Structure 1
């Protein structure tokens, strides 16, 4: 499915071959963007009548910022495992190991550029699996109403989009997509697999075990 020039991965068409799109080298940017309730309320406070502006301003003040964290769990061909994320300041690097980097930590959803991971496909032979994931660090109990969208963009402009829709109540983390080699080709597969508190409190460990990545976790902060 294609919309606005992007290949949209859906339940019916969940995978795309990067090789078939000639995306086999260079950098690919993974962008996470979402709508902050506070930003929405502030837009609604645009100039109108004085009383309406006052009420909209009060709603904006009461609205919370939502901090979503984009990350990537990586397993390498030699069995090495690591994660790139804001938690623990594990921002990574593009020109050296882990060949994946996070550009910034958007703590409100108001940043136009959102959060971006960059993957260096010049080292794709080193990768076994790259699992893109996101979770709520603070400000909301689930993803409903956040309109979160993840877009992968190659150096030359190829775009692949995954929408984080159909979130269940209390869905506070999501395995977005899995990038791996399949039948000799590098494939992006839509996951949109939701996790809720009933799955366990240590969400990183829960996601890692669900995808058999075999990672060991220690408490982190940012």
Structure 2
């Protein structure tokens, strides 16, 4: 259980040149941000360098890149990224969704008016990570944890977010970047999406996550199962299996915040209510 009355102060923010530009202040969130050390000791490394800037939108394919697509489903939920994409280049995990669903047509004027006044849907992309040295953390816009808490001994990043799209109208959506050169340093990564603002309406959001490797086919995971009672969905897991980075479709809805997701997947970290 998290003791909210004894929550430690947040650590001081790193210098501006080491922190992505923070998004404008937003409303309080029902989400959670990590605080304090995890249940098991972590190995802390040096301060991370500035996150590489990544432009929204799919980059033009490089020569020799396959434009095929692999769709993960219940019947075929897994694929080895090491076999299809190799261990070089940066993998872009892209979340796109419909931020402005159509207003309901039935139920009378007041119901349609309430639906229009509820505003759009703001989804946040994030992940829990565990590296080979046992260090664990979260990467998400909430709490400005765009790069997590850990880097490699040489200061390089394994994974990071490129920004926070609050409108859902950016054609590039939100992107989590994973450097496949560091596959050996990854134990597991769990990618999730969280409805930060708006009524939980996964059906109208019509969210899809697409993996864009530097080479090899794209990998698509559609959130084609819905739970209107949940604000958070575990989408995909990456696990290092004998040196191969295997991605598995999850699409598992969570009744609660990131702390409940942590419990269900056994990360063992400390959490407190957070905001952007």
With the length of structure 2 as denominator, give the TM-score of the two structures.
Answer: 0.66
Over aligned residues, Cα RMSD in angstroms? 2.4
Q: Which residue of 2 aligns with 1:34?
A: 97
Quick check: 1:103 aligned with 2:166? no
| Correspondence 1:72-151 to 2 at 5 A | 72-92=127-147, 96=155, 98-151=157-210
CA deviation map 1:107-141 (0-9, x unaligned): 12111110011111111111110000011001122
Q: Which residue of 1 aligns with 2:274?
A: 220
For structure 1, the residue ranges without an aligned partner over 5 or more in a row are 42-57
CA deviation map 1:52-93 (0-9, x unaligned): xxxxxx999646221101001100111101111100011118
Q: Which residue of 1 aligns with 2:87?
A: 24
CA deviation map 1:11-54 (0-9, x unaligned): 0000001122142222000000001126x57xxxxxxxxxxxxx
For structure 2, the residue ranges without an aligned partner over 5 or more in a row are 1-66, 104-112
Structure with the bigger percentage of strand: 1
Task: Supply the distance in 1 between the matched residues of 2:223 and 2:69 (Cα, whole angstroms).
Answer: 15
Give the length in aligned residue pairs: 197
Divergent runs of 4+, >3 A: 58-63, 93-98
Between 84-93 and 128-137, report the one with greater CA deviation: 84-93
Quick check: 1:211 aligned with 2:265? yes
Q: Which residue of 1 aligns with 2:119?
A: 64
Asked whether the equivalents of residues 17 and 188 of structure 1 are also in contact (C-alpha less than 8 Å), the reply is yes
Higher relative contact order (CA 8 A, sep 6+): 2
Q: Which residue of 1 aligns with 2:223?
A: 164
Asked whether the equivalents of residues 65 and 107 of structure 1 are also in contact (C-alpha less than 8 Å), the reply is no
Q: CA deviation at 1:209?
A: 1.1
Asked whether the equivalents of residues 15 and 190 of structure 1 are also in contact (C-alpha less than 8 Å), the reply is yes
Q: CA deviation at 1:180?
A: 0.6
Task: Supply the distance in 1 between the matched residues of 2:121 and 2:90 (Cα, whole angstroms).
Answer: 28
CA 60–192 in structure 1, closer or farther in 2 if over 3 Å, else same: closer
Q: Which residue of 1 aligns with 2:70?
A: 7
Task: Supply the distance in 1 between the matched residues of 2:232 and 2:85 (Cα, whole angstroms).
Answer: 31
Q: CA deviation at 1:5?
A: 2.7
1:154 corresponds to which of 201, 208, 213: 213
